[in-house]
Amino acid sequence: MSEFLQFLVAGLKNGSIYALIALGFTIVYAATGAINFAQGEFFMLGGMLCVSFTDLGMPLPVAAVAAIAATAAIGAAFELLAVRPIAGDSPLRIIMVTIGGAVVLRQLALHFFGPDERALAPFTEGASLKAFGVAVELQTLWIWGLTALAVVALALLYRKTAFGRAMRATAIRRDAARLVGINAGMMVTVAFALAAGLGALAGVAVAPLTQTAFGVGAAIGVKGFAAAILGGIGNPITAVAGGLLLGLLESFAAGYFDPAYKDGVALVVLLVVLFVAPQGLLAKAGRVKV
Amino acid sequence: MNARTLRALAPLIAVALALIVPLAVSDRFLLKVFTFCGINALVVVGLALLFGYAGQVSLGHAAFMGLGAYTSAYCTVELGWPWLLGFVAAGVVAALGGLILAIPSLRLKGYYLAMATLGFGLLMSLAFIQAEPITGGVDGFSGIPFPSIGPVEFRSASSLYWLVWGAVGIAVLVAHNITSLRPGRAMRALHGSELGAQACGVDIVGVKVRTFVVSALMAGLAGALYAGVVGFISPSLFTLTASITFIAMTIVGGTSSLAGPILAAVALTLVQYSDALIPGLPRETAQTIQSYQEDIYGLAIVLIVIFAPRGLAGLWKRRSAGNEAS
């Protein structure tokens, strides 16, 4: 039983990280209908920037906020420089530009931060909490808390503010949103910034537990996408559910079968969902008709 | 000689130039570098068919190269098969891999197809590491024999060069036939508009699957050639990074062209070996270029897609079209 609970905790911990990255995919998809293949790099940038900022002597909370803000700015710049010139073009070109952009971001991180793995101090020092024979690291609580906070803040932004309503209007129908005076272009830039910020938040929150390095973006990006599509792309609630579900699947597969399978689980889930139900398992999205 | 005859003669001149390289180059390392160019060109010819003609994308082509390389290594070393048989087996396994991925991917377009190939590529990279009894795991697979066909063994640098570029030549012939005949028109129609192609009676499912299988086959054969030329393979060769390198070569080369992607494959491969190409280049400079090699690939993809979406081949065609008009 305690073994089961321990796997559950580990699964929900990683699942929260996947949920944040899946939300990033979802926000950009909702705003543009595009998949950003560089989403994982924002996770990497968040972690690496935070480590570098603490190296410069910033206190951890300041460094974390600065890293998330800086990554959000990079996300906005990425949209303006690379994606904007071909906006609305064929998916093929957007795939290529975001893949190429991902390589550039990763290489910039390599040149700036070096090739070594870096670690971040835990947000709060202290022994793990123990209950029912399960140990929960304090950082895991931070991850859950920050994920929940981000999801609630995002929901409030989208539902309660005029700005959020403008974003949703743009996502539903771009031309109509323009007609009522919404700056649709800016909404897309903001969507990229938000997605990058969420990715960076995940990168910062998990860096004390797993070390980070310049090359971690691609693998986590694919996992985040697997989570997003597991829930059905475009829906923030199912994206979070997909993230948690993927984390649990991974954790139980690694725990009960073989740790070597852990990284394969997300890839198998990705392929199976794409092949069997590309509209997602949790959402009832309509199939695209010709 | 006007531009048109020049263009008709260009392939022959290119072949002649490629054939005499080993006679003109005595440096064995440099010759090996040109051989690697040929191996990459072979992968890129397949990708050019898939991407540049049919408008489909694969972000996992290194996986097919790996499938071919490991199949050839396993068949020749562990099973003791003749090299040629292992080479054929490599092609068959890679093509089967392509078929297994292509059939369920049929319903997928654009982003989802790209993600499926990316996921497949990453999954295969894991498999190459985990399937230790067959692949040797992270330590790799060594002691792979040189290629041989019957009694002829390809040992010397120049014979390997001819073998590889001979394979490229055959691949180009095959690809040229595919693109200039009915299947090529079907592929181009697919690139233009899938719906339109379907309405004109193009079997879009068949075209997609066949193109994907042919491109996987070429990548697999390239992998088998690499294993024979170098004698050692490891999972680090067949990663996402390698797949993106091939994509960069294909995009820079341009769509609806074979010559462009081949030239780009050669040029971008040479970036990795600047020290062999320019004698007397200081070691540090060569290392700096090498450390920025992936930046070059990534930037090349972004800039070409934004500013010259038809690639170098598109720029060249536009220029020569302008010349003929004037």
- Say whether the ipTM exceeds 0.90: no
Please provide residue B106's backbone torsions phi and psi, each rounded to the nearest 5 degrees. -55, -40
User: How many residues in total does chain A contain?
Assistant: 290
Residue B3 has a pLDDT of 67
pLDDT in tens, B146-196: 998 888 888 888 889 999 999 998 999 888 888 777 667 777 776 667 777
pLDDT tens for residues B209-258? 888 999 999 999 999 999 999 999 999 999 999 999 999 999 999 888 88
Average pLDDT (A102-112) is 93
Distance CA(A70)–CA(A260), nearest Å, equals: 35
Q: Which helix (H) or strand (E) holds B295?
A: helix B293-307
pLDDT at B325 over 70: no
Tell me what pLDDT residue B92 has: 96
Please answer yes or no on whether B295 and A274 come within 8 Å at the CB atom: no
Whole-number pLDDT of residue A284: 52
Average predicted confidence (pLDDT) for chain B: 85
pTM assigned to the model? 0.89
Query: Residue B184: how many CB atoms within 10 A of its CB?
Result: 20
- Average pLDDT value over all residues in chain A: 87
Beta-carbon separation of A100 and B299 below 8 A:
yes
Is the CB of residue B142 less than 8 Å from the CB of residue B249?
Answer: no
Rounded to an integer, the average pLDDT of B271-275 is 80
Of A95, A102, A222, the CB nearest to B119: A222
B133–chain A Cβ distance below 8 A for any pair: no
Does B44 reach chain A within 8 Å, measured CB to CB? no
Handedness of CA B264, B268, B273, B277 (dihedral sign): positive
Q: What's the pLDDT band for B35 if we cut at 50, 70, 90?
A: very high
Q: Is B106 an 8 Å CB contact of chain A?
A: no
| Among chain B residues, CA nearest to A95 | B111
Q: Where are the alpha helices (DSSP H) in B25-57?
A: 28-47
Nearest CB to B306; choose among A86, A270, A290: A86
Mean pLDDT of B19-44: 87
User: What is the pLDDT confidence band of residue A290, given thresholds at 50, 70 and 90?
Assistant: very low
Facing A100 at nearest CB: one of B111, B122, B302: B302
The pLDDT value recorded for residue A72 is: 96
Are B255 and B56 a contacting pair, CB within 8 Å? no
Q: Which of B109, B120, B298 faces A103 most closely, judged by CB atoms?
A: B298
For residue range B67-114, what is the model confidence (pLDDT) as tens digits?
999 999 999 998 989 999 999 999 999 999 999 998 888 778 788 889
**What single-letter DSSP state applies at residue B148?**
E
Examine the pLDDT at A148 and tell me if it is beyond 90.
Answer: yes
- Is the model's pLDDT at A286 over the cut of 50? no
- Confidence band (pLDDT; 50, 70, 90) for B6? low
List the domain boundaries for chain B: 28-239
- DSSP per-residue string spanning B223-244: HHHHHHHHSEE-GGGSSHHHHH
- For A41-79, how does the pLDDT look when each residue is reduced to its tens digit (9 = 90+)? 999 999 999 999 999 989 999 999 999 999 999 999 999
Min distance A216 CA to chain B CA atoms (Å): 12
Could you tell me if A271 and B116 are in contact, meaning their C-beta atoms sit under 8 angstroms apart?
yes
% of residues, chain B, pLDDT over 90: 41
CATH code, A2-276 = 1.10.3470
Higher per-residue confidence, A163 vs A17: A17
